[in-house]
């Protein structure tokens, strides 16, 4: 292939062909033609229509582009440029290259055990840092790496402030059904990702969907997945009393989709949307007086119940994009993870998140996936959150405009 260009460049391609090999070869050809060189790395997101043949698809793309770091995962929804595809076969790829950019793929599988067992030494041996990372992009299996521990393990192995973006993939209904590919390795568990170093800046974009209602409450009794007491009283009773105090609209929203917001920093006196980790309540056990949440909430935590509404989600993303637009450096590409809880039922339109990101950031190449939970910066630390959007804008580290590049959409 042709030698590398002298500036940071990104390309995205999406193909809707039902045959996986045809879609992969089409994508490989378009990436090769558009880049004119072997990329620094490629990220591929596939609908479950392509799950069985995804390893062969990645091999085909590698055959066209030449050996380079590449990772792929299945998802129930694919973000590609300004659109979101929640049904039908979809294969989307995002490639980038630049003379001062270094990228490496990494993976953890069942042989490494759960994230709680990953030592700092193990994680660093997979990340292989040669210089301070500019970004860790992560896609993890919710059944085997679906806990806050995966984020903590990565965070403890990298310098403070390293952006960690991504999330838990969606689509697999049981363990072993999600598909992950890194270079020539295939797995159905664990986590995969990409490390970026060198002349690239990764600017996180975080948006939330929750609006706090009712007073702050202290968890005074909990075990495993159950919150048993709030402020010394049965948690289910406190929840029902709050419901009764709300206006009709908020009462309906909270009853239909009950969510708890865990305060990240209990010392803060003024709390905004970015101060909570959102966790959905699965059951209100009125007989036992408990609230059941995946992962539970530690005793001593401060919480507020959250109303999830489209207006809040749209407004918060708009504010996040206003902030991102203040950076004078041009955006070359976007990676994103949008919570499965957002979608058209919440946001009022299909493809809201992808469309707004694409439109507000000058139509640059974008690829992303629908996440069971997204990984993003919450009050200065990477955390596993819910109901939000976690994206990252990739920019050249110098104030030079990237070569003209953009989305490619095969017919």
Strands (E) in 301-378, as ranges, are 302-308, 333-339, 366-378
Q: Is a pLDDT exceeding 90 seen at residue 4?
A: no
Strand pairing report for 283-285 and 290-292: antiparallel
Phi (first) and psi of residue 363, to 5 degrees: 65, 30
Q: What is the pLDDT of residues 286-295, one digit of tens each?
A: 999 999 998 8
Q: Is a pLDDT exceeding 70 seen at residue 5?
A: no
Can you read off the two tokens belonging to residue 292? 């059941």
Q: What is the pLDDT of residue 57?
A: 97
Q: What is the mean pLDDT of residues 244-270?
A: 91
Residue pair 140/166 in contact (Cβ under 8 Å)? The answer is yes
Q: Which residue has the tokens 């804008």?
A: 393
Can you read off the two tokens belonging to residue 98? 């630049």
Q: What is the pLDDT of residue 6?
A: 59
Q: What is the pLDDT of residues 8-67, one digit of tens each?
A: 899 999 999 999 999 999 999 999 999 888 899 999 999 999 999 999 999 999 999 999
Q: What is the mean pLDDT of residues 123-140?
A: 96
> CA dist 275 to 211, 264, 265, 278, Å?
11, 6, 7, 10
Q: What is the pLDDT of residue 271?
A: 83
Can you read off the two tokens belonging to residue 190? 């664990």
Q: How far apart are CA 169 and CA 73, in angstroms?
A: 8
Q: Which residue has the tokens 């840092």?
A: 129
Catalogue the long-range contacts made by 244-248 (C-beta closer than 8 Å, 24 or more residues apart): 245/214, 246/213, 246/214
SS3 letters for 64-127?
HHCCCCEEEEECCCEEECCEEECCCCCEEEEEEECCCEEEEEEEECHHHCCHHHCCHHHHHHHH
Q: What is the pLDDT of residues 318-369, one digit of tens each?
A: 999 999 999 988 999 999 999 999 988 899 888 999 999 999 999 999 999 9
What is the reported pTM?
A: 0.91
Q: What is the mean pLDDT of residues 244-257?
A: 96
Q: What is the pLDDT of residue 268?
A: 77
Q: What is the pLDDT of residues 266-275, one digit of tens each?
A: 777 788 888 8
Q: What is the pLDDT of residue 405?
A: 42
Q: What is the pLDDT of residues 277-320, one digit of tens each?
A: 998 999 999 999 999 998 889 999 999 999 999 999 999 999 99
Residue pair 164/136 in contact (Cβ under 8 Å)? The answer is yes
Q: What is the pLDDT of residue 294?
A: 84
């Amino acid at each position: 292939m042709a030698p590398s260009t002298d500036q940071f460049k990104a390309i995205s391609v999406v193909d809707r062909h039902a045959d996986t090999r045809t879609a992969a070869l089409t994508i490989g050809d378009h990436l090769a033609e558009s880049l004119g060189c072997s990329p620094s790395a490629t990220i591929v997101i596939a609908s479950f229509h392509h799950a069985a043949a995804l390893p062969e698809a990645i091999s085909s793309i590698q055959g066209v582009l030449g050996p380079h770091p590449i990772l792929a995962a299945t998802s129930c929804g694919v973000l590609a440029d300004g659109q979101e595809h929640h049904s039908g076969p979809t294969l989307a790829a995002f490639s980038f290259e630049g003379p001062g950019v270094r990228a490496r793929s990494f993976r953890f599988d069942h042989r490494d055990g759960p994230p709680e067992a990953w030592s700092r030494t193990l994680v660093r041996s997979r990340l292989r840092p040669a210089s301070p990372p500019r970004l860790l992009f992560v896609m993890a299996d919710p059944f085997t790496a679906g806990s806050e521990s995966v984020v903590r393990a990565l965070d403890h192995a990298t310098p403070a402030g390293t952006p960690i973006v991504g999330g838990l993939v969606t689509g697999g209904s049981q363990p072993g059904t999600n598909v992950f590919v890194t270079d020539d390795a295939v797995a159905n568990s664990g986590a995969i990702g990409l490390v970026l170093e060198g002349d690239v800046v990764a600017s996180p974009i975080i948006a939330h969907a929750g609006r706090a209602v009712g007073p702050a409450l202290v968890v005074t009794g909990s075990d495993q997945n159950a919150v048993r007491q709030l402020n010394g009283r049965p948690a289910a009773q406190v929840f029902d009393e709050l419901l009764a105090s709300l206006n009709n609209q908020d009462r309906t929203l909270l009853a239909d989709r009950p969510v708890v917001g865990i305060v990240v920093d209990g010392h803060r006196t003024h709390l905004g949307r970015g101060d909570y980790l959102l966790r959905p309540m699965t059951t209100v056990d009125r007989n036992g007086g408990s609230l059941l949440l995946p992962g539970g909430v530690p005793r001593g935590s401060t919480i507020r119940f959250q109303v999830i509404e489209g207006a809040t989600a749209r407004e918060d993303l708009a504010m996040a994009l206003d902030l991102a637009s203040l950076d004078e450096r041009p955006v070359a590409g976007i990676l994103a993870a949008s919570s499965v809880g957002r979608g058209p039922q919440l946001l009022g339109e299909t493809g809201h998140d992808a469309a707004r990101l694409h439109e507000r950031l000058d139509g640059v190449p974008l690829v992303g996936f629908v996440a069971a939970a997204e990984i993003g910066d919450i009050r200065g630390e990477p955390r596993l959150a819910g109901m939000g959007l976690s994206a990252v804008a990739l920019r050249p580290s110098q104030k030079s405009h990237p070569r003209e590049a953009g989305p490619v959409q095969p017919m």
